[in-house]
């Protein structure tokens, strides 16, 4: 049996970050990836037959990736800031938020809401989240703070209360009066998270927090070359540092006595490891260890990738489509609409007006298109639909997906001056360039449990009370549940030599590399 210092289960971007750090520190590292390619949910793909457009197939924007990780691993990878942060159409008007022009944004708020009140509220609110971002973001790559330590770091009682203690809906309703503006703010609390503004569990607050602290600014940037450029750079860095990466290698079991482990994969292979890092979800980890896993997480989004012959014209003639589609374009995401769609989906129905947001990568970074496509004016369009929980699809996966897709595109068409279908490019066989993925598709293709894009609901970025925060990573898990331990770095599992290194770790979720970094630090600290 071959022996390694560290075996990493899964070659998603977090597994690759961990591999690059650990191999760089002189460890013998093996990465075992189930799929034929690395990258997990952070990949680029030519999704349409015979069309040379490398779409970021699943995740598409970068915010939570610390510069420190890019620099320390020497990655040749960069992001580009979007000038337009969002556009929200309202019939034949709309709200354009131009990150580079405050006067213009103010004018947009006045045009939509009739006064400067909402703009001033917006400025104050995002100044508050910006301050929290600057204080919280650097802690993500430090040992896990306690709740009290993080609150001291934030050092702003009102902000702490608004973001960490009260359901976000209360704050949004106090601060903003306009339904459209309230909706734009709330969407960041609902991405990949099936919940509502007043959920007493505060999962909406946690989701919101991760959407506004990235990079210490909350900006969502465009990965130049697409998401695949990032994970390819990571795989190169890991290999250059000496890590072995084997694809097409599904791990089927992990046995550990806390000191050494055996990892079974493929058709009867077994390797030995001092430490095992798990980039698969906590739910999958429990199964690999043969331990109880608790309820399965549930994803709640529809993902649609499109290629357009041209950008559609808008009903709002005052805005250039090249600006509107460059930022996050909100559809049917008014505050009241979000609540209604949530209630309908929670009751088991496809929402009448499914909320979604779309964004065009190629306006900011045309390098993902062949020169010919770029010259023809072709553009990519990616749509992320909210409130589409996996349970909706269970009885009739294809039929429900088709109905939801049709209802979602109808909402988009309602704000366009021409149907989106008329703008779709066609592939080599003459089929429209459009693909849609339900949570069930994401589970099957990428292994996301229940299609949950963060592997499970996001956790507060501090040690959970009652868990083993602050102690060694191997401290026992509460209730014997391997999915709930945290340890000093938020990556522990209750087994001294098994660590989470993926989205399901505390401070995981999103394209960040943070849990990969933190799991590597936990191993290096332990073996130093
Ligand atoms: C549609 C969609 C859109 C998103 N948009 C964004 C976005 O714009 N920005 C953002 O920051 N985040 C976004 N996310 C979330 C983000 O992509 C994920 O949270 C992130 O990619 C998780 O990375 P990871 O490396 O931890 O796990 P994953 O990317 O899930 O990788 C895990 C890897 O482990 C492998 N694996 C699993 N089980 C085994 C096994 N038994 N043996 C071997 N290998 C195994 C899987 O095949 C996979 O390659 C999006 C996600 C989705 C699905």
Q: What are the tens digits of pLDDT across the range 397-444?
A: 999 999 999 999 999 999 999 999 999 999 999 999 999 999 999 999
The HSE-up count of residue 320 (CA atoms within 13 Å, CB side) is: 6
For 230, residues 6+ apart whose C-beta sits below 8 A from its C-beta are 13, 42, 62, 65, 75, 77, 223, 511
Digit-coded pLDDT (tens) for 272-298 = 999 999 999 999 999 999 998 889 999
What is the predicted pLDDT for the residue at 468?
A: 45
DSSP state of 216: G
pLDDT-above-70 percentage for the chain: 96
pLDDT band at 92 (very low <50, low <70, confident <90, very high): confident
Give the Cβ contact number of residue 398 at 10 Å: 10
Kindly report the protein residue whose alpha carbon is nearest to atom 10 of ligand 1: 510
Kindly report the protein residue whose alpha carbon is nearest to atom 4 of ligand 1: 59
Mean pLDDT of 66-82: 97
Tokens standing for 48? 């349409």
Kindly report the protein residue whose alpha carbon is nearest to atom 38 of ligand 1: 280
- Confirm or reject: Cβ of 51 under 6 Å from ligand 1: no
Q: Which atom of ligand 1 is nearest to the CA of 250?
A: 42
The answer on pLDDT for 59 being more than 80 is: yes
Q: Which atom of ligand 1 is nearest to the CA of 32?
A: 43
Which among 14, 19, 41 is the best mutation to test ligand 1's pocket, defined by most ligand atoms within 8 Å of the CB? 41
Contact (CB, 8 A) for 468 and 478? yes
**Per-residue buried b or exposed e for 360-373, using 16+ beta carbons within 10 Å of the residue's own CB:** bbbbbbbebbbeeb
Digit-coded pLDDT (tens) for 340-351 = 999 999 999 999
- Confirm or reject: Cβ of 457 under 6 Å from ligand 1: no
DSSP assignments along 429-487, one per residue: TS-BSEEEE-HHHHHHHH--GGG-TTSSSPPPSSPPTTS-TTS-TTSPPGGG-TTT--T
Give the Cβ contact number of residue 400 at 10 Å: 18
List Cα–Cα distances, 425 to 58, 311, 471, in angstroms.
Answer: 20, 11, 55
What is the predicted pLDDT for the residue at 470?
A: 43
Distance, CA 12 to ligand 1 centroid (Å)? 6
- Confirm or reject: Cβ of 12 under 6 Å from ligand 1: yes
- Confirm or reject: Cβ of 450 under 6 Å from ligand 1: no
Q: What is the pTM of this model?
A: 0.97
CA distance 18 to 2: 20
Least confidently predicted of 111-125, 294-308, 460-474: 460-474
Distance, CA 423 to ligand 1 centroid (Å)? 30
CA distance 12 to 310: 33
Kindly report the protein residue whose alpha carbon is nearest to atom 41 of ligand 1: 251
Q: Which atom of ligand 1 is nearest to the CA of 265?
A: 42
The answer on pLDDT for 469 being more than 60 is: no
What is the predicted pLDDT for the residue at 293?
A: 85
Distance, CA 239 to ligand 1 centroid (Å)? 20
What is the predicted pLDDT for the residue at 466?
A: 62
Of 164, 181, 182, 163, residue with least CA distance to 172: 182
- Confirm or reject: Cβ of 448 under 6 Å from ligand 1: yes
Q: Are strands 29-32 and 2-9 parallel, antiparallel or unpaired?
A: parallel
Residue in the block written with tokens 């924007």:
61
Kindly report the protein residue whose alpha carbon is nearest to atom 1 of ligand 1: 58
Judged on CB neighbours under 10 Å (0-12, 13-18, 19+), 110 is: middle
**3-state secondary structure string across 182-197:** HHHHHHCCCCCCCCCC
CA distance 50 to 66: 36
3-state secondary structure of 385: strand
- Confirm or reject: Cβ of 96 under 6 Å from ligand 1: no
Tokens standing for 66? 């610390």
Q: What is the mean pLDDT of the chain?
A: 95
- Confirm or reject: Cβ of 59 under 6 Å from ligand 1: yes
pLDDT band at 465 (very low <50, low <70, confident <90, very high): confident
Computed on alpha carbons and rounded to an integer, the radius of gyration of the chain in Å comes to 22
Least confidently predicted of 60-74, 331-345, 355-369, 467-481: 467-481
Mean pLDDT of 37-62: 98
Name beta bridge partners: 499.
277, 492
The answer on pLDDT for 215 being more than 90 is: yes
Distance, CA 375 to ligand 1 centroid (Å)? 33
What is the predicted pLDDT for the residue at 483?
A: 60
Between vectors from CA 234 to CA 232 and to CA 240, what angle results, nearest 5°?
105
Which among 305, 453, 505 is the best mutation to test ligand 1's pocket, defined by most ligand atoms within 8 Å of the CB? 453
What is the predicted pLDDT for the residue at 480?
A: 53
Residue in the block written with tokens 């190629």:
362
- Confirm or reject: Cβ of 57 under 6 Å from ligand 1: no
What is the predicted pLDDT for the residue at 54?
A: 98
- Confirm or reject: Cβ of 413 under 6 Å from ligand 1: no
Q: Which atom of ligand 1 is nearest to the CA of 14?
A: 25
What is the predicted pLDDT for the residue at 474?
A: 54
Digit-coded pLDDT (tens) for 116-152 = 999 999 999 999 999 999 999 999 999 999 999 999 9
Q: Which atom of ligand 1 is nearest to the CA of 288?
A: 41
Contact (CB, 8 A) for 433 and 427? yes
The answer on pLDDT for 357 being more than 60 is: yes
Mean pLDDT of 169-182: 98
The answer on pLDDT for 385 being more than 50 is: yes
What is the predicted pLDDT for the residue at 223?
A: 98
- Confirm or reject: Cβ of 438 under 6 Å from ligand 1: no
Mean pLDDT of 166-172: 98
- Confirm or reject: Cβ of 35 under 6 Å from ligand 1: yes
Q: Which helix (H) or strand (E) holds 344?
A: helix 335-346
CA distance 279 to 16: 9
Which among 491, 510, 517 is the best mutation to test ligand 1's pocket, defined by most ligand atoms within 8 Å of the CB? 510
Q: How far apart are the first and last CA of the chain?
A: 25
CA distance 420 to 405: 12
């Amino acid at each position: 049996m071959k022996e390694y210092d560290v075996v990493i289960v899964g070659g998603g971007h977090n597994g690759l970050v961990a591999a690059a750090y650990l191999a760089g520190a002189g460890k013998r590292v093996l990465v075992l990836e189930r799929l034929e390619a690395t990258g997990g949910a952070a990949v680029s793909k030519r999704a349409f037959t015979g069309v040379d457009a490398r779409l970021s197939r699943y995740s598409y924007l970068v915010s939570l990736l610390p510069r420190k990780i890019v620099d320390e691993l020497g990655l040749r990878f960069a992001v580009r800031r979007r000038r337009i942060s969002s556009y929200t159409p309202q019939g034949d008007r709309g709200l354009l938020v131009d990150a580079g022009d405050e006067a213009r944004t103010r004018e947009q708020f006045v045009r939509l809401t009739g006064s400067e009140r909402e703009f001033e509220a917006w400025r104050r609110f995002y100044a508050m989240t910006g301050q929290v971002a600057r204080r919280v973001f650097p802690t993500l790559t430090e040992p896990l703070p306690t709740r009290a330590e993080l609150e001291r770091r934030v050092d702003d009682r009102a902000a702490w209360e608004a973001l960490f203690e009260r359901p976000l809906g209360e704050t949004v309703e106090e601060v903003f009066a306009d339904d459209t503006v309230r909706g734009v703010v709330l969407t960041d609390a609902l991405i990949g998270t099936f919940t509502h503004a007043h959920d007493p569990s505060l999962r909406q607050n946690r989701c919101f927090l991760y959407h506004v602290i990235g990079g210490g600014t909350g900006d969502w940037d465009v990965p130049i070359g697409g998401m695949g450029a990032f994970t390819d750079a990571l795989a190169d860095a890991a290999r250059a540092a000496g890590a072995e990466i084997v694809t097409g290698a599904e791990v089927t079991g992990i046995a550990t006595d806390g000191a050494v482990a055996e990892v079974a994969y493929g058709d009867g292979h077994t390797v030995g490891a001092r430490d095992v890092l798990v980039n698969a979800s906590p739910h999958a980890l429990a199964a690999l260890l043969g331990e109880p896993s608790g309820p399965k997480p549930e994803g709640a989004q529809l993902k649609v990738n499109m290629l357009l012959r041209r950008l559609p014209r808008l009903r709002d003639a005052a805005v250039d489509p090249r600006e509107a589609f460059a930022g996050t374009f909100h559809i049917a995401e008014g505050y009241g609409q979000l609540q209604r769609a949530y209630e309908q989906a929670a009751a088991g129905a496809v929402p009448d007006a499914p909320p979604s947001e779309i964004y065009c990568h190629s306006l900011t970074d045309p390098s993902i298109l062949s020169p010919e496509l770029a010259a023809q004016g072709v553009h990519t369009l990616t749509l992320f639909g909210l409130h589409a929980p996996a349970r909706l699809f269970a009885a009739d996966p294809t039929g429900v997906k088709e109905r939801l897709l049709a209802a979602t595109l109808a909402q988009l068409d309602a704000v366009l001056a021409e149907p989106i279908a008329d703008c779709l490019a066609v592939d080599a066989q003459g089929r429209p360039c459009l693909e849609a993925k339900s949570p069930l598709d994401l589970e099957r293709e990428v292994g996301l449990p229940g299609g949950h894009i963060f592997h499970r609901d996001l956790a507060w970025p501090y040690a959970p009370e009652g868990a083993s925060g602050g102690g060694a990573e191997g401290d026992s898990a509460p209730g014997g549940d391997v999915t709930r331990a945290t340890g000093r770095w938020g990556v522990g599992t209750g087994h001294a030599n098994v660590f989470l290194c993926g989205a399901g770790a505390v401070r995981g979720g999103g394209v960040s590399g943070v849990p990969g970094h933190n799991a590597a630090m936990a191993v290096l600290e332990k073996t130093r």
